[in-house]
Structure 1
Amino acid sequence: MRQYIRYIVPILIPLIIILLPASAFPVEGLTVIQQRVIAIFLLAALCWVLEPIPIYATSVVIIVLELLLLSNKGFFLFRAEEGEPHFGELLNYSDIMATFASPIIMLFLGGFFLAMAATKYRLDVNLARVLLKPFGNQPKYVMFGLMLITAIFSMFMSNTATTAMMLSILAPVIALFGAKDPGKIAFALCIPVAANIGGIGTPIGTPPNAIALKYLTGENLITFGEWMFFGVPFVAVLLVFAWFLINALYPAQQEKIELSIKGKFLKTPKAITVYVTFALTIILWLMGSTHGMNSYTVALIPVAVFSLTGIINKEDLKKISWDVLWLVSGGIALGLALDQTGLAKLMVHSIPFDSYSPYVVLLGAAALCLLMANFMSHTATANLLMPIMAALGTSMASLVPLGGEITLILVVTFAASLGMSLPISTPPNALAHATGHVESNQMARVGVIIGVVGVALSFAMIWLLHLIDHI
């Protein structure tokens, strides 16, 4: 029976929402179009939680339903009531379709090209080999080196790909630990933790960051360099805390370990092109205010260079994580519908948030996001919450002294990436659990503490930066 519920509930509840009269909703002034958006939102939420279909497929369904039910070029029966006072404004079909080619998608595409080229020409493995040398052979320091390198890679590569690579490097080392040596748990656990934390450091590190950028525009605009100015110190502090925590909970009994990573930097013309393009792209991202190009424009430079030189060929294109791009585009489309139909503002204004302390609102939003991110995709969590938080941030006057909309969005974004308590929370966690060296309760023990401390740290750092900004 349970397996049927996964399929029936996501269809049945949105269908009921569409068929109900507007008077059945506790919100005044709800239009037919907004009612349809509620149904699509619930469909997305239920499909992302219950996963009756792949989560990227849910995003495609969202966009198609919006085109059919909400757009000015949708099915004619769904546009029959247009012009009636309670029908609402239809969305432009081209705006909905444009979510597949949003600047956010281009930013991620550029990141994927960089990561693929780095892996193909062994830049990642060779950097790991060089960067690990200074950390010696004491387990706790080697582990810190591994966490640092994993976090750095995760800022520019997929967290999943980084974890898979680092765990493969670690496999022979973990095998050297005794059967009951806690160090085995520590080494297997430190990689996914560092990958999850490291992804917060840059806008392309993880999809929730890119989704947040969609709402950080105008006065709240954050450039690639400004994000790193805040994100990298956050990652550094939380990474050190995570290292201390894992060492305290699972101290290694073995006194020395040897990491043997073979390889050397390639010196072929294509490899050198990869090195130069990788470095140049990052420099251009960091110096956005100097050259005038935004991060989205810069992201297409490696796409052009690697395509032109054949570094990334048509076979490599098949390996791009198109599912992630589709998932993000579905979230952008959902946010577009909530914003342009006015539903997000209507929902926020229907609840007296201004009567609550802004600290309570911030804490509640972060706690909700952290809880959801532990049980469902981080990207899906950000997709669902971000448009509502953006509307809430602009409408709450009491949030202005604490940074307003930008504070709320950043806290929620960071909370989305800090959901790492379970094997199902993130792909890096699943990969680490699959090694057989980490049990679910051990992962939860570390994940819950890091999640709570990480949210508290994000509050402290945002408050500190806001305070410095007003001195």
Structure 2
Amino acid sequence: MKFSHSIQFNSVPDWADHYLAYSNLKKLIYQIERDIVASSITAANDTEVISSITEQSPLLDAKSRANAIFIPALDKELAKINVFYLNKEKEFLEEVEILISDYAAFENLEDNVSIHSNAFNISRSYQSGEGSLPRKKSSSSQPKRRSTSDAAVSFMSSDDDEAENQFSQPTGGSRLSTEVDFLDNRLSFLWTPSSLEDQKIRLKKRTIELFVWLSELKSFSSLNYTGFSKILKKYDKITNSRLKSSYLNNVVNESYPFRHPTRQRLEDKISKVQEIYANLCTNANMDIAIRELKTHLREFIVWERNTIWRDIIGLERKAHAVGIKAPVTVDHSLEATSKISTPFGMLSVSSTFWRNVIILLICVGVFVFLLDASFFKREEQRYCFAILIFSSLLWSTEVIPLFVTSLAVPLLVVCLRVLRDDQNNRLGAKDAARQIFQTMFSPVIMLLLGGFAIAGALSKYHIAKMMATFVLSKAGTKPRFVLLANMFVATFASMWISNVAAPVLCLSLIQPILRPLPPNSNFGRCLILGIALASNVGGMASPISSPQNIIAIGIMERSPPTWIQWFFIAIPLCIIIDLLIWLLLLWNYEPTKNSSIIHPIRSSKDPWTGTQIFVIIVTVITILLWCIEKRLESFFGDMGVIAILPLVLFFGSGILTKEDFNNFLWTVIILAMGGIALGRAVQSSGLLHTIAKSIQAMVGDLHPWHVLVIFSTLVLVVTTFISHTVGALIILPIVFEIGVKLSDPHPNLLVMGSVLMCSSAMGLPISGFPNMNAIMMEDEMGVRYLSTMDFIKTGVPASILALVTIVTVGYGIMSLPLIGY
């Protein structure tokens, strides 16, 4: 968790304004980097090449000016913390002294109850003539009674004060008898067992409350000290300074809240409170007392901060689950809402809700209409066509989550009985259910899980990041080469950690480059867009780089391509398309005309650990086994079995945990399973054969290249507006069947070309996750780098260039005898 979240997570809500303003200081650091450090290096560039600058005067002057801005900001925060701490410490220490005094008085009362009771019995005996009390003795006992009575005053309520006024007015008799009557009445009023127990409960509550607040003050000091340490570390890293050691030692450590005597004084008061609690509640057992007080502290914190913790933890878990930062949410409070009266009360619904309801009703209406339409002779084909169109509409409009639609597919397939056996007889519900579930959990799903395990391990142990920073550190400072290096790194990372996580990794790595750039910098927009487009291209680079590739392998199950064949086709295409997009970006944005200075990315200096080496070895062995799977088919049987290897080794060794397994993209897995189920239904019902035969009649005896151009263009248009995976689910089964029916059959060639085209659709911000992530990128001032026009200006031409490359170079490679497509 970031420290800016941690300080909010652990702070006392009522004291929030008095903690170190960590986020503001971090923004100040980025502003310093942009306005001072970068400008100084630019000035130095007028006289010599940047690469020759080491520790010369312009840079030193920049550091001095940076310190002159940053140190006063730190001093201001430190003064704010000092004032607040002094006030709170004074308040709490006074409360501790009052508690000690009150506890001593209570203890004195408790110890002397029996003595006073005996004295009152003797006094009663003297008054009734049952005994005699010496004068001297009675006078000597009087001060004791008075002192005890005075001590009880501090524990009296307003009712007690009235009782005291009542009993302080003697009505007659001797002084001794009057005093005895007064004390007898007072003790009968004050010193009953229930009254003593009430006072004890009040003391216990005060002790717990004071322990909580003293612990909060201790946490306040510790958290702020950590904040100073972290913000100074960040400042030193970004500005290449050495301020942390001197400022911490000479300023922070000498400030009142962080001095050793101050901390020791607070610890002593906490120990005293613990001792009082032990005497009150645990028969002086300190271990039990400390344990109980800490339990009270936890309960208080959970009650007080429940909402804050829940919100922050929720955001962090969502972000970690997909390896991205928390998404920007829409403020639905700004939408038009209406109220509906229900038996359970009024229900507020938004305009988005009504829109989704209308779309869903239209989809259901189309589904019901198609169930009775006479487009096909056989009933199972008619029902299967209705399921296909219904699922496609739901996937395209996303009125319900994509994975929910996938879950509905097997339900409809079984209930409508669209599956047939080998003799073309409709299967019953029981046999259909068994067959569809066997189909859904196919080796392709295990391959997807194995890919997630490899991606999770490479990301969790920063292996991908270390390799990426090493490559980017060699890119230099020339804009064109920095752009090209980042694009190739994004494509390569997408091969192994998917094109969902790769752009997030790469966009985080370029933050040191983006921060010093001036607002609206052409190079900043160019760089972010380049990484997004290259990540899309990387989605075609390996069988596990995107879900649509897994779907294509499942469709080509009769003779799927080996990993070597896939690399032989996809990697040259990725390189060519990346280079074409690079040239397009240079032509559109002309980043070389910008005079901004690019900070080189520093490679990681951390040594490789044993865990990282183990992860790399397992990953390499798994990929090699996938590449030679055909030769090992008699032993492993399928690539899905090989995918179990990283799952067993990573989870069995504890490298990945149960939480990592839960954070797999299960929605994507369910989506793929639904697609497999739909494909099986379309094939088993005979619908696919019928549709392919109809399309075959339209395309006639066209050459496979012409069919590839037609379907690649169709895929490009469709997947520009809907999910790449959804487009593959709908179109690829039809493409395969048409390829089989051609006079010169090339089903794998057509499917391979079409699935590569799925990843190349990148014309809009909604065309794939890399584009969505890129358009949400903001600078430190909250201003977005990209707009929709950037994607239209660059993404649409890039998609067309990818289409031309796939149907020319790609077709040529796939037609080679070595590939056999």
Q: TM-score, normalised by structure 2?
A: 0.52
Q: Distance in 1 between matches of 2:632 and 2:597?
A: 48
Instruction: State the match for 1:51 in structure 2.
Output: 398
- 1:387 corresponds to which of 706, 725, 733: 733
Aligned length: 450
Give 1:86-97 correspondences, 5 Å limit: 88=426, 92-97=432-437
- CA, structure 1 residues 468+16, in 2 after alignment: closer, same or farther (shift >3 Å)? closer
Q: Distance in 2 between matches of 1:254 and 1:280?
A: 46
Shift of 1:376: 0.6
CA contact (8 A) 2:563 2:626 kept: yes
Greater alpha carbon shift after TM alignment, 277-286 vs 425-434: 277-286
Instruction: State the match for 1:286 in structure 2.
Output: 627
Instruction: State the match for 1:61 in structure 2.
Output: 408
Deviations 1:241-262 (A, max 9, x none): 1111111111221354124456
- 2:669 corresponds to which of 310, 313, 325: 325
The aligned amino acid for 2:741 is S
Q: Distance in 1 between matches of 2:607 and 2:678?
A: 44
- CA, structure 1 residues 427+18, in 2 after alignment: closer, same or farther (shift >3 Å)? same
Give 1:73-92 correspondences, 5 Å limit: 88=426, 92=432
Shift of 1:33: 1.1
The aligned amino acid for 2:652 is L
Give 1:123-272 correspondences, 5 Å limit: 123-218=463-558, 220-252=559-591, 253-254=594-595, 256-261=597-602, 263-265=604-606, 267-272=608-613
- 1:13 corresponds to which of 366, 380, 398: 366
Deviations 1:376-410 (A, max 9, x none): 1100000001111111111121x44xxx1122111
Shift of 1:467: 4.8
- CA, structure 1 residues 445+97, in 2 after alignment: closer, same or farther (shift >3 Å)? same
Instruction: State the match for 2:643 in structure 1.
Output: 299
Task: Say if 2:702 is the partner of 1:357.
Answer: yes
Q: Distance in 2 between matches of 1:344 and 1:156?
A: 33
Considering Cα pairs closer than 8 Å and 6+ residues apart, tell me whether 1 or 2 has the greater RCO. 1
Shift of 1:134: 2.2
CA contact (8 A) 2:523 2:589 kept: yes
Q: Distance in 1 between matches of 2:814 and 2:646?
A: 35
- CA, structure 1 residues 343+266, in 2 after alignment: closer, same or farther (shift >3 Å)? farther
Shift of 1:4: 3.2
The aligned amino acid for 1:33 is E
Deviations 1:74-128 (A, max 9, x none): xxxxxxxx99x99845673223112442111111111100111111111011011
The aligned amino acid for 2:536 is N
- CA, structure 1 residues 417+462, in 2 after alignment: closer, same or farther (shift >3 Å)? same
Greater alpha carbon shift after TM alignment, 33-42 vs 449-458: 449-458
Query: 3-state DSSP class of the match of 2:766?
Result: coil
- CA, structure 1 residues 153+466, in 2 after alignment: closer, same or farther (shift >3 Å)? closer
CA contact (8 A) 1:234 1:457 kept: yes
- CA, structure 1 residues 86+145, in 2 after alignment: closer, same or farther (shift >3 Å)? closer
- 2:616 corresponds to which of 268, 275, 278: 275
Task: Say if 2:779 is the partner of 1:434.
Answer: no
Greater alpha carbon shift after TM alignment, 260-269 vs 139-148: 260-269
- 1:450 corresponds to which of 798, 801, 805: 798
Q: Distance in 1 between matches of 2:808 and 2:706?
A: 15
Instruction: State the match for 2:202 in structure 1.
Output: none
Shift of 1:135: 1.5
Q: Distance in 2 between matches of 1:368 and 1:192?
A: 23
Shift of 1:463: 3.2
CA contact (8 A) 2:763 2:796 kept: yes
Deviations 1:314-342 (A, max 9, x none): 11112100011111111111111111111
CA contact (8 A) 1:33 1:89 kept: no
Shift of 1:364: 1.9
Shift of 1:450: 1.7
Structure 1 unaligned residues grouped into runs of 5+? 73-81
- 2:380 corresponds to which of 33, 36, 55: 33
Shift of 1:290: 4.5
Query: 3-state DSSP class of the match of 1:63?
Result: helix
- 1:410 corresponds to which of 752, 757, 760: 752
Q: Distance in 1 between matches of 2:632 and 2:466?
A: 31
Q: Distance in 1 between matches of 2:599 and 2:515?
A: 12
Instruction: State the match for 2:235 in structure 1.
Output: none
Shift of 1:146: 0.8
Q: Distance in 2 between matches of 1:291 and 1:87?
A: 37
Shift of 1:175: 2.5
- 1:369 corresponds to which of 708, 715, 727: 715
- 2:765 corresponds to which of 411, 420, 423: 423
CA contact (8 A) 2:569 2:814 kept: no
Query: 3-state DSSP class of the match of 1:157?
Result: helix
Instruction: State the match for 1:334 in structure 2.
Output: 678
CA contact (8 A) 1:121 1:266 kept: no
- CA, structure 1 residues 87+106, in 2 after alignment: closer, same or farther (shift >3 Å)? closer
CA contact (8 A) 2:718 2:727 kept: yes
Q: Distance in 1 between matches of 2:470 and 2:803?
A: 33
CA contact (8 A) 1:354 1:396 kept: no
Q: Distance in 1 between matches of 2:671 and 2:385?
A: 19
Q: Distance in 2 between matches of 1:63 and 1:222?
A: 28
Q: Distance in 1 between matches of 2:417 and 2:511?
A: 51
Shift of 1:183: 0.7
CA contact (8 A) 1:411 1:455 kept: no
Q: TM-score, normalised by structure 1?
A: 0.90
- CA, structure 1 residues 311+362, in 2 after alignment: closer, same or farther (shift >3 Å)? same
Task: Say if 2:452 is the partner of 1:112.
Answer: yes
Shift of 1:282: 2.0
Q: Distance in 2 between matches of 1:266 and 1:150?
A: 23
Structure 2 unaligned residues grouped into runs of 5+? 1-353, 778-783
Q: Distance in 1 between matches of 2:506 and 2:646?
A: 24
Instruction: State the match for 2:246 in structure 1.
Output: none
- CA, structure 1 residues 71+365, in 2 after alignment: closer, same or farther (shift >3 Å)? closer
Which protein is bigger by CA-based radius of gyration? 2
Deviations 1:324-371 (A, max 9, x none): 111111111111111111111111213413525334432221111111
Greater alpha carbon shift after TM alignment, 40-49 vs 455-464: 455-464
Q: Distance in 2 between matches of 1:410 and 1:375?
A: 21
Computed over aligned residues only, the root mean square deviation of the Cα atoms, in angstroms, reads 2.3
CA contact (8 A) 1:362 1:411 kept: yes
- CA, structure 1 residues 255+138, in 2 after alignment: closer, same or farther (shift >3 Å)? farther
- CA, structure 1 residues 173+462, in 2 after alignment: closer, same or farther (shift >3 Å)? closer
- CA, structure 1 residues 89+340, in 2 after alignment: closer, same or farther (shift >3 Å)? same
Greater alpha carbon shift after TM alignment, 170-179 vs 252-261: 252-261
The aligned amino acid for 2:720 is N
CA contact (8 A) 1:37 1:338 kept: yes
Q: Distance in 2 between matches of 1:362 and 1:275?
A: 38
- CA, structure 1 residues 118+463, in 2 after alignment: closer, same or farther (shift >3 Å)? closer
Deviations 1:165-207 (A, max 9, x none): 1112223422322224211110110111111001101111111
Greater alpha carbon shift after TM alignment, 180-189 vs 266-275: 266-275
